[in-house]
Structure 1
Amino acid sequence: MGLTNMCQNMSELIESYRDVLPVCQTGMSTHAKERLMTQPGTETNPLRVAIVGAGPSGFYVAEHLLQQQDCVVEIDIFDRLPTPYGLVRGGVAPDHQKIKSVTKAYEKTALHPRVRFYGGVEFGTDLPLSLCRRLYHQVVYTTGAQTDRQMGIPGEDLQGSHPATAFVAWYNGHPDFRDLTFDFSHESAAVVGVGNVAVDVARILCRTTDELAKTDIADYALEALSESRIKEVYMLGRRGPAQAAFTNPELRELGELAGADVWVPPEEATLDELSQAALDASSDRATTRKVGMLNDYSKRDTADKERKLVLRFLVSPEELYGNEANRVTGMRLVHNELYATDDGALRPRATEVFEDLSVGLVFRSVGYQGVPLPDVPFDTRRYTIPNQKGRVLDPETSQPILGEYAAGWIKRGPSGVIGTNKPDALETVRCMLEDVQNGKVLTPDTPSPEGAEQRLREQQPLYVSFADWQQLDTIEVEQGKSLGRPRVKFTRVEDMLSALNKTPAS
């Protein structure tokens, strides 16, 4: 067949094989074919994407986009902090180094030639949405759930009552939280909640200094916790053992602490009739193992170690009370019972049984919520960005806003583990590619890496590149080697910039 005939038959070939063409070019109508030469996603006109938030969800969005071999994508990842990886750096417990190894995959993504990282750039100020629309075809919000929910009880604001998020960020060296102080001079502390974050908090409070000294916990936190006088830590769950949100590996680890015994009151380790019936009907092996471990803990001798960790169930704080100095000295607990709702779910309700618990330090870990971004719709009831499968919705029309997307906890709420964000990101990316295919993208006037970099230098000249981060990473790791630690973290932004020889203009 000659070249002329091949060209004449090209339209028929495209139509015949459109089901196997790349995502960015499939299902083309006549109008779409006419738009093909200007549609983003080609070598000459790459799809320019901004990802706001450099945590797991942001990197999973980037990874999925880069896997579209026939849709050329250029990605800029932004974070308010100079350091990438979000909660993997600032949220994963320092004694869980294995979990942090997931950053190796994120690093591979960040080093891709079509990806750039801009740290120390704050969305809304350094990077207004109006500027994003001039630089990118699509914007993805992956900012997570940055704050905690309150218990809504009297005394919650007393000194010594803290959100777990603040404590976790503090011991992980987050620059925004490094200057907080926690009073470890008391003998008893309570953690309200029985999720994995609550377990992390309780475990860190119970670790010995020798155990913590082998981790990448912030230096100031290591020093403060080494002087802790805490002898007893309570974890408080409002429902029963079968409904506890912590995972089995986390629970098992509590039974292996070098300096703390774990114990459950036998009457609270025993399932109520409704929970037992539900477990029997479901044949849930994971929950069965969880309940079995808790029963084993209820039979343990707890006189051997310096500290004691007590797991409580079917209790809720009703009030925190304090002294003349406005400091927490204890809490009033109400005992709960479970009942079945119309849809079969088991919910707690208060009884007439109360008890007082003497504690001088309280951490609430009862859920997390997202915070609004400037000029971006926000659902104040769900504390997420309103969306449909990742497409950001206009709250007035409930229709997708052109070019804006969300992924991760800011999209669906704080649920799942790190890996849960990967399929969530894929759902969003599929919508993004479908919109590219249908020509539903922004029309930036400066759609190039060079143009974006120039504008960002004007907005924030002290931004941190991924090469800069690698330099900081090397310094942290080298500082840790002599101490037998994974790393010694920078915990001040100014120290990071100083190490990179970046100084504000005079």
Structure 2
Amino acid sequence: MTLQVAIIGAGPAGFYAAEALAKEEGVQVDLIDRLPTPHGLIRSGVAPDHQTTKKVTKKYDQTAARENVRYIGNVTMGTDVSVAELRDLYDAVIIAFGAEGDRPIGLPGEDKEGVYGSFAFVGWYNGHPDFTDLAPDLDIDAAVVIGNGNVALDCARLLVRTENEMKASDIADHAGEAIYGSGVKDVYILGRRGPVQASFSIAEMREMGELEQGISVVHDAQIPEALPEDMDPKEARSRKPVLEVLKSFRPNVSGSAAKTVHFEFFCRPVEILGDDRVTGVRVERTRLVDNRAIGTGEMFDIPCQLVIGCIGYVSREVEGLPMEGGVVVNIDGRVDQGLYCVGWAKRGPTGTIGTNRPDAQDVAARVLEDMKGGAGKPGGAGLDALLIDRAIRVTTYDDWSAIDAAEIARAKEGAPRRKFLTIPDMLSVVDEA
């Protein structure tokens, strides 16, 4: 009998799990996503000026083209269909919906106007339907970005990009217009620890030295000449080139370009200032003790009108899923009999896109091991009947292909696509196809 597997979430983790399972005979995979558009954070999380990274979706297209793989879009788990219903319908259910919310900054004043999490802010400039109406006010002088990872670099870089630099991107029109017309002159990137502990990658760091109208500055005393001698060799290989780029910023002077990006290490935010709207961030200088950031008591304020917290994402809570710390409670991907998780839902928002592949392959292997001789549930046929009965409009991968083609056709010169920003607009394309 055919093993019926439902994968909830059609991002990298979901597609890699589908790829691993679909190679086996006697397995049918249904990839279910709440949006008509697949690919998850490849579409809505990867920076719009990083188009090379998005080419990985060609591999996902090959998986979707397999006869034993279906894409079922525009179906929301927990609303249109429950976890319990999917478990009744499928032999195995794999949760792969990633992390779809911002971890709270955890500071007094984070509820002020002008304070955003990076999931929302990145979704806004990437044209995610959930954040089309976010409308951050960029008629500002300064912004503070909290965090020392690549998402923090993305947000800072996008705030100082020119229209010319973004002409080959797929940034949402509304975001591009706001960014290009912004008066922002200073962007501060805050890190509790030092440059050695920052998780920037070399490609993103190099971009910070190649900005058309921006310059990156550092505090000379904060940048060491070399890495610690006792650092793990593998870690040192990735950190050394990043450190070299930061060292190259030492001669740069704040204000010598139209926009300045300030790398502020060894400082942690303690309060967001202002009345209804943010007017600044109070920070405390830190020092490292056993690789931990310890406050020194030295405080200073950074005036700003925009704060973006880039401190991590959390998975949304869904009835029927045990959650703890923003992830699904699991043991090596196993949640319960016939219920699994993979990707960020399993391990939290860590690693690169490629990290999801071996992770998904491991969980797929556990599914196949656990389900030997356990097939026999109705699978997709049962789900189709349930969704028809509930009048839920479903989209297919062919429908996505129509949306994809329409976005490409409406792109500005030099750009890869011009996204549709609402689900009704996407569905209207399908209707016309």
* TM-score interval (norm. to shorter): over 0.9
Partner of 1:300: 252
SS of 1:212's equivalent in the other structure is coil
The aligned counterpart of 2:299 is 354
CA distance in 2, matches of 1:267, 1:250: 23
Deviation at 1:67, TM superposition (A): 2.3
| Aligned twin of 1:476 | 407
Amino acid at match of 2:251: K
Tell me if the contact between 2:161 and 2:180 (Cα under 8 Å) persists in the aligned partners: no
| Structure 1 unaligned spans of 5+ | 1-44, 341-345, 393-400
DSSP-derived class of the 2:307 partner? strand
Structure 1 counterpart of 2:264, from 276, 289, 312: 312
Offset of residue 283 of structure 1: 7.8
Letter in structure 2 aligned against 1:298: R
What TM-score do you get using the length of structure 2 for normalisation? 0.95
Query: Does structure 1 residue 494 correspond to structure 2 residue 424?
Result: yes
Pick one of 405, 412, 416 that aligns with 2:351: 416
Evaluate the alpha carbon distance shift between residue 271 and residue 373 of structure 1 in structure 2; reply closer, same or farther with a 3 A threshold.
Answer: farther
Higher RCO, 1 vs 2 (CA within 8 Å, ≥6 residues apart): 2
- Corresponding letter in the other structure for 1:95: D
* Preserved contact between residue 213 and residue 222 of structure 1 (Cα < 8 Å): no
1:462 is the counterpart of 2:393: yes
| Aligned-partner Cα distance in 2 for 1:461–1:161 | 35
Matched residues in 2 for 1:421 and 1:179: separation? 31
Residue 129 of structure 1: how far off its partner (Å): 2.3
| Counterpart position of 2:82 | 128
Q: Number of paired residues?
A: 432
Matches within 5 A, 1:231-242: 231-242=185-196
Q: Unaligned 5+ residue runs, structure 2?
A: none
Q: Secondary structure at the match of 1:477?
A: helix
Deviation at 1:378, TM superposition (A): 1.4
Deviations 1:356-412 (A, max 9, x none): 111111101112211222212212xx22111111110xxxxxxxx211000000101
Structure with the higher helix share, 1 or 2: 1
Matched with 1:62 is 18
Question: Which one of the candidate residues 424, 431, 456 is aligned to 2:366?
Answer: 431
Structure 2 match to 1:50:
6
Partner of 1:391: 334
User: Aligned with 1:422: secondary structure?
Assistant: helix
Q: 1: distance between equivalents of 2:255 and 2:316?
A: 44
Structure 2 residue 315 is matched with structure 1 residue 370? yes
Partner of residue 12, structure 1? none
- Give the drift of 1:460: 4.3
- Where does residue 108 of structure 2 map in the other structure? 154
Q: How far apart, in 2, do the equivalents of 1:282 and 1:171 lie?
A: 34
Deviations 1:204-259 (A, max 9, x none): 00101222233111111111112100011110000001000111111111111112
Using the alignment, how far apart are the partners of 2:392 and 2:312 within structure 1?
A: 37
Report the counterpart of residue 42 of structure 1 in structure 2.
none
Distance 1:221 1:287 in 2: 32
Alpha-carbon RMSD: 1.8
User: Matched residues in 2 for 1:182 and 1:459: separation?
Assistant: 37
Match of 1:186 among 140, 157, 166: 140
1:131 Cα offset (Å): 2.5
Does structure 1 residue 82 correspond to structure 2 residue 36? yes
Look up the match of 1:211. Answer: 165
What is the DSSP-based 3-state SS (H/G/I as helix, E as strand, rest coil) of the residue aligned with 1:176?
A: helix
| Counterpart Cα distance in 1 of 2:285 and 2:84 | 52
CA distance in 2, matches of 1:383, 1:151: 14
* Bigger-Rg structure (1/2): 1
TM normalised by structure 1 equals 0.82
Does the 8 Å CA contact 1:402/1:442 hold for their aligned counterparts?
no
